[in-house]
Amino acid sequence: MSESKIGISVIVPVGERHADPCELYAEYAAALTALGGPFELIFVLDGPQQDFAAGLRQLLDSGERFVVIGLTRAFGEATAIMAGFAHAQGEVIVTLPAYHQVAGAEVGKLLAALESNDLAIGKRWPRAGGPLERLRRWMFHGLLAWITHIRFNDLACGARAFKRRVLEEIQLYGDQHRFLAVLADRQGFRVSEVELRQSPQDRRRGVYGPREYLRGFIDIFTVFFLVRFTKKPLRFFGMIGVVLFGLGAAWTLWLVVDRLFFAQALADRPALLLSSLLLVLGLQIFALGLLGELIIFTHARGLKDYQVAEVIQFER
């Protein structure tokens, strides 16, 4: 396939954090035009975002050509990307952040990486930030790498390029846009990370409060479950359940023995409450795992654990 035939659809999900639309548009449009091929630019307004919408309206009125899709409320970035994708026509999809995160001129590098990959994700490099922030990033991505067995260095980077079929197969929802690379890798796509120059304006936020840490923690938790327990729930829940049940059973047994042979009345033992609680909790968690297995079992025909690249048979 020759480069010029590939239409590129650029999706820009516009959330709470966004730059000035005119500047942003100018930068992206210039970078994309410089690539030479035909492209379309799709802004998805995730919620009203009135200032940004007004800016886009002005640009449209002054004759610039791009698509704007307005969502009635803030659905989240992943849903905004999927909404943009529904309108995208290109074979290659690019997502770019609605604020200056990477230098717009670097988009070409992402596209070049698609020659031998299905998805290219940006990595801001060299990157600004103090040692504490670097440590935080290093820990976050290290933990993720330990869980997923694949190393990424900047999942928060909103600049990604991928082939159309990546999103056709992966339904993003919730906060999953940040894990597109992880999900794509698990789906058998070839994923690469491309170093992109960080935009000077991206340095403004160097402060990470408890909210960012909490989000990072929840992210890791999410990936952990997506990766480890969507196939064999009983291995996880069963283990916890059996341990709790065992502890509870042993403890209860001891209390009962105490009652029978040493005449220690159960009515005076609040420990009985705790031990039976453990016992019951273990059973409940185990039952949860069994339910998970039941879901997998009854849907096994739909949940394929393989991805076929192609089926070829030549005609006679």
Partner 1 sequence: MAEAPKLSIIVPFYNEEDNIRRMHAAIAAAVEPIGTSFEMVFVDDGSKDATAALALDIARHDPRVRFVRFRRNYGQTPAMAAGIEHARGEVLITMDGDLQNDPQDIREFLRQIDEGYDIVVGWRFNRQDKLVSRKIPSRIANWLIGKVTGVPIRDNGCSLKAFRASLIKQIPLYSEMHRFIPAMASMAGPRIAEIKVRHHARQFGQSKYGLSRVYKVLLDLMVIKTVASFASRPLVWFSLLALPLAALGCAALGEALWVWHGGARALPLPIAGCGVILLTSAFMLAAGGALGELVYKLGDIREQEFSQLTARRWKQA
State the minimum distance, in angstroms, from the CB of residue 111 to partner 1. Answer: 21
Tokens of 190: 């070839």
Q: Which is nearer to partner 1, 104 or 282 (CB)?
A: 282
Residue 92 β-bridge partners:
8, 163
Q: Which residues contact 178 (CB under 8 A, 6 or more apart)?
A: 155, 156, 219
Q: Could you tell me if 117 and 213 are in contact, meaning their C-beta atoms sit under 8 angstroms apart?
A: no
State the minimum distance, in angstroms, from the CB of residue 269 to partner 1. Answer: 6
Q: Could you tell me if 193 and 123 are in contact, meaning their C-beta atoms sit under 8 angstroms apart?
A: yes
Q: Which is nearer to partner 1, 12 or 278 (CB)?
A: 278
State the minimum distance, in angstroms, from the CB of residue 144 to partner 1. Answer: 20
- Rounded Cα distance between 141 and 222, Å, is 14
Q: Which is nearer to partner 1, 1 or 265 (CB)?
A: 265
Q: Which is nearer to partner 1, 73 or 316 (CB)?
A: 316
State the minimum distance, in angstroms, from the CB of residue 295 to partner 1. Answer: 5
Q: Which is nearer to partner 1, 257 or 294 (CB)?
A: 294
Q: Which is nearer to partner 1, 61 or 315 (CB)?
A: 315
Helix (H, G, I), strand (E, B) or coil at 299: coil
Using CB under 8 A, list all residues that contact partner 1: 187-189, 231-232, 234, 238, 266-273, 276-277, 280, 283-284, 287-288, 290-291, 293-316
State the minimum distance, in angstroms, from the CB of residue 308 to partner 1. Answer: 6
State the minimum distance, in angstroms, from the CB of residue 162 to partner 1. Answer: 14
Q: Which residues contact 127 (CB under 8 A, 6 or more apart)?
A: 154, 198
Q: Could you tell me if residue 49 is left (phi over 0), alpha (psi between -120 and 50 degrees) or otherwise beta?
A: left
State the minimum distance, in angstroms, from the CB of residue 313 to partner 1. Answer: 4
Q: Which is nearer to partner 1, 109 or 259 (CB)?
A: 259
State the minimum distance, in angstroms, from the CB of residue 292 to partner 1. Answer: 10
Q: Which is nearer to partner 1, 192 or 276 (CB)?
A: 276
Q: Could you tell me if 257 and 222 are in contact, meaning their C-beta atoms sit under 8 angstroms apart?
A: no
Enumerate long-range contacts of 212-218, CB under 8 Å, 24 or more apart: 213/136, 216/136, 216/140
- Rounded Cα distance between 183 and 192, Å, is 13
Residue 151 CA: distances (Å) to CA of 3, 77, 155: 30, 23, 10
